[in-house]
Chain A
Amino acid sequence: MWDRREPERLEQRIRVERDGTVTALSGKIDFGQGLRTAFAQIVADELDVPIERVNMVLGDTDQVPFDFGTFGSHSVAQEAPLLRKAAAFARRQLIARASTKLGVSGEKLDTDAGAVVGRGTRVLYGELIDSEPLTGVIPDRVVLMPETRRKYAGRPTPHVEARDIVTGQATFVADVRLPNMARGAMVRPPARGAKLRSVDDSTARKMPGVVAVVRQGDVVGVVAERDEQARAAAAAVEADWHALPVEGPTAEVPMRSDPEVDERLHGAAMRLAQTYVLPPIANAPIGPSAAVADVRADGATMYVGTHRPFGVREQVAKTVGLPEKKVRVLPQITSGTYGRNSHADAAIEAAILSKGSGRPVLLQWTREEEFAWSPSRPEAVLEISAGLDADGHIVSWRYDEHTNVHTAAGLDPGVLGVTSGRNAVPPYAGFPSRVTLHIEPTRLRTANFRSLAAAENVFAIESFMDELAALSGQDPLAFRLRHIDDERFRRVVERVAEASGWTEHSGNRRGRGIACTVYHDTYVAQVAEVEVSLSGAVRLVKVWCVVDPGQTVNPEGVRNQIEGGIQQSASWTLKEELLHRDGRVMNTGWDTYPIATFRDAPESIEVLVEGDESAPPTGVGEPGAVPTAAAIANAVFAASGARLRSVPLTRERVRKAMPA
Chain B
Amino acid sequence: MKLALTVNGERREVDVPPNTSLLSLLRDDLGLTGTRYGCGRGQCGACYVLADAGVGAPGHGARAVASCLLTADQAARMEITTVEGLADGTKLHPVQQAFIDGDALQCGYCTSGMVISAVALLARDPRPDETSIRDALAGNLCRCGVYGRAIRAIRRVAESS
Contacts and interface: CB of A to CB of B under 8 A. Distances in A.
A318 interface: no
B148 A604 contact: yes
A172 B139 CA distance: 22
Contacts of B82: 168
A163 B99 CA distance: 9
A156 B142 CA distance: 23
Given A163-B100, A287-B36, A568-B144, A598 B151 contact: yes
Contact of B100 (A162, A364, A565, A595): A162
B152 to A, nearest CB: 10
A166 interface: yes
Contact of A286 (B20, B31, B143): B143
Interface of A is mostly: loop
B159 interface: no
A566 B147 contact: no
Contacts of A158: 100-101, 103
Interface residues of B, number: 60
A167 B83 contact: yes
Interface in B79-116: 82-84, 86-87, 92, 96-97, 99-101, 103, 105-112, 115
A598 B41 contact: no
B17 A336 contact: no
Contacts of B100: 158-159, 162-163, 166
Contact of A567 (B33, B137, B148): B148
Contacts of B31: 177
A414 to B, nearest CB: 32
A569 to B, nearest CB: 8
Nearest to B23: A227
Contacts of A335: 107, 109, 143
B128 interface: no
Nearest to A565: B145
Interface in B1-55: 17, 19-21, 24, 27-28, 31-41, 43-44, 46
Nearest to A170: B108
A238 interface: no
Contacts of B106: 32-34, 159, 336, 560-561, 564
A517 B84 CA distance: 43
Contact of B109 (A285, A338, A364, A568): A285
Interface string A565-605: 11110010000000000000000011100011111111011
Contacts of A557: 103
B141 A563 contact: no
B140 interface: yes
A150 interface: no
A32 B137 contact: no
Contacts of A604: 148
B43 A563 contact: no
A interface residue count range (under 10 / 10 to 19 / 20 to 34 / 35 or more): 35 or more
A197 B69 CA distance: 36
A478 to B, nearest CB: 30
B41 to A, nearest CB: 7
A475 interface: no
A260 interface: no
A416 to B, nearest CB: 27
B110 to A, nearest CB: 5
A197 to B, nearest CB: 30
A646 interface: no
Contact of A591 (B27, B33, B43, B140): B43
Contact of A589 (B39, B96, B101, B105): B39
Nearest to B115: A166
Contacts of A170: 34, 108
Given A166-B99, A226-B24, A601-B134, A595 B141 contact: yes
Contact of B143 (A175, A177, A285, A599): A285
Contact of B99 (A162, A168, A589): A162
A78 interface: no
A284 B143 contact: yes
Contact of A597 (B86, B99, B105, B141): B141
Interface string B128-158: 0000011101111111111111110000000
B34 A169 contact: yes
A498 interface: no
A590 B101 contact: no
B134 A599 contact: yes
Given A564-B145, A599-B134, A167 B103 contact: no
B88 to A, nearest CB: 12
Nearest to B29: A226
A472 interface: no
Given A567-B148, A604-B148, A286 B33 contact: no
A163 B91 CA distance: 11
Contact of A227 (B24, B38, B84, B115): B24
B108 A32 contact: yes
A165 B97 CA distance: 11
Interface in A1-55: 31-34
Contacts of B24: 226-228
Contacts of B39: 367, 589-590
A556 interface: yes
A161 interface: yes
Interface in A390-405: none
A367 B41 CA distance: 9
B103 A338 contact: no
A637 to B, nearest CB: 24
A564 B112 contact: no
A598 B17 contact: no
B147 A567 contact: yes
Contacts of A600: 147
Closest CB pairs A-B (n = 8): A168-B34, A567-B145, A32-B107, A32-B106, A336-B107, A601-B147, A564-B145, A165-B108
Interface of A: 31-34, 156, 158-159, 161-163, 165-172, 174-175, 177, 208-209, 226-229, 284-288, 333-336, 338, 364, 366-367, 556-557, 560-561, 563-568, 571, 589-591, 595-602, 604-605
Given A288-B38, A561-B106, A600-B147, 6 more contacts: A159-B108, A286-B44, A286-B46, A286-B107, A286-B141, A601-B134
